[in-house]
Structure 1
Amino acid sequence: MLELLKELCRLNGVSGAEDPVRNFIQTQAQPYADSLRSDALGNLIVFKRGKKSTGNKLLLAAHMDEVGVIVTRITEEGFLKFDFVGGVDRRVAIGKPVVLGENEIPGLIGLKAIHLVSREEEEKVPKTDALYIDIGVKDREEAEKLVPPGTYGSFVGPPQEFGQGFLKAKAIDDRIGCAIMLELLKEDLPLDVTFAFTAQEEVGTRGAFGSAFSVSPEVALVLETTTAADLPGIEGARRVCAPGKGPVISYMDGATIYDRDLFENLRRLAEEHGIPWQTKEYIAGGNDARTIQRSRSGVRVAALSAAVRYLHAPATVGSLADFENMWKLTRLFLADQAAQL
């Protein structure tokens, strides 16, 4: 699965421009799918029959999109003004390389040099309108030929294994969920499963609404990442969770109270099979579960996440062992759901 995850992380798929990711996933899923379709929001819905026929009872979901930038206007000098797509921390974006548009025009997020700022400016995080992207052209006309307003941009972060069993890459959020679902599609499943590779999660879980409404499942498991904060200067419950301590089984976050029976089932399965697991020690964040849960007359939801450092940044860090255990626990969950029928 690791090589598949790396390949997914190399792809660019900012919210609303997930096409390269969706096309890759579709090619990978096609040989194993009983049906496959895309919808108006760009979700990819894949159905695979299992040993037990249950129809659309069970949904697995993971989002394809990542945070990035979008060009809003061009200055006379050829610099690109932009806004962020998704919740990017401005402090970590300054000086970072990006690629823009289908031709992957290289650029760099710039800010007025430190030598030119006032003492007051030194003490504040610059607002987005103070930033720009430099693509190395001489004027507006040259810039518009390459990247007209409305062009999406992605951060640059080639996947790399490092340290003691860690991976750093852009877009681990949520290409790990996509990778697990693609691997499951290759297997003989214990029951029918619908896989939703969703769009536009990073801008308000928009794609999940359409996918859940059309599939109308009874139970959904969201495969995600969540904020790891095992970092210097962060104490107590605000450390939330940590890479290397196992998949995160959520009972509640900032957007969803998860189905208690599904939470307990995941916890029990992890403990019975010797899989380390953890919960979030701080209630915050949210994911596609919030939208899926509220679809139609309601859906029972659970979330299984990898603890990842530096979410919504140009590079993120997660544990290879956690990714593997998340895959194992998802398999056990499917078998458990089949046994309950």
Structure 2
Amino acid sequence: MSLLSARHICKSYPIKNYQFAKDDSFDAIKNISFDLEAGKTLAIVGESGSGKSTLARQIIGIEKPTFGEVIFNGERLHFSSIKNKKMRFKNIRMIFQNPYESLNPQARIGTTLEEVLRINTNLSNKQRKEKVANTLSRVGLLPEHQHRYPHMFSGGQRQRIAIARAIILEPQVIIADEPLSALDVSIQAQILNLLQELQEEMQISYLFISHDLNVVEHIADEVMVMYRGEIVEYGSIEQIFDQPKHPYTQTLFASTPMYRKRFKEFEKPDFKTKKGLKEQGCCFAQRCHFCEPHCQSKPPQLIAQEDGYKIACFKAE
């Protein structure tokens, strides 16, 4: 049984159209389903605006999905349930992209970490301080760092602090939303190694959001490719990286220097809108090299195969 599952998650945002005096809506994510096993990493990849962070907000409970459900350890998480909120907060934690913005600049690091324990545990003051010191050591910082403010640390150290805050309650799932993108390349490797060490030590499951395919290849067990709020391809790391089949996934690889040689024919896709193309067709039809008339009239279904691989493409079918 999967540790964390999403079933048919949809999220729409209202749009006020003052010109015609009527409301409309924008579908940010559409019919997203996945399963995350204990101790494994599911990477969510796609360009900016594909709905990756929006999906993360639905899973962790920052926003309420328009439709669908999140299941943790076999139990459906209700958005309004106080019990579910406490369980979700303790067991599903998040690491944000910018560590400095996610930390209170006016609070010492020790105070920030202790606050999490004070609200969510029954530990004494002494036990909380010991827990904070041990957690800082666990992420490669010194216990005395708890007396400093966020501005006194480097970017890599701040991300270690953010990781410490995420693991201090010993969660089962961590959602990492672009945790390396704000860091120097030399620091990225250190943080990536730390995340892998913590996963092995604590058996944490990661929902890892990234646009960096090189990082994804090193940390992920499965990959879910999103475009314009939809899943276009889903499979194991070997299936996606050895032989990606969806034209959008191939385009992503072609735009990454490390993989460009293998997919050079997709390096310069045509971004011009094709005449007569309607929104009810495939979400990638406007940019697809293989777009045919039937791609413009109806969307392809996400077809699952016996080995768990899924793809939404008429050409691949």
Q: Do Structure 1 and Structure 2 share a fold, with TM-score over 0.5? A: no
Greater relative contact order (Cα 8 A, min sep 6): structure 1 or 2?
Answer: 1
- Which structure's residues are more often helix, by fraction? 2
TM-score (norm 2): 0.28
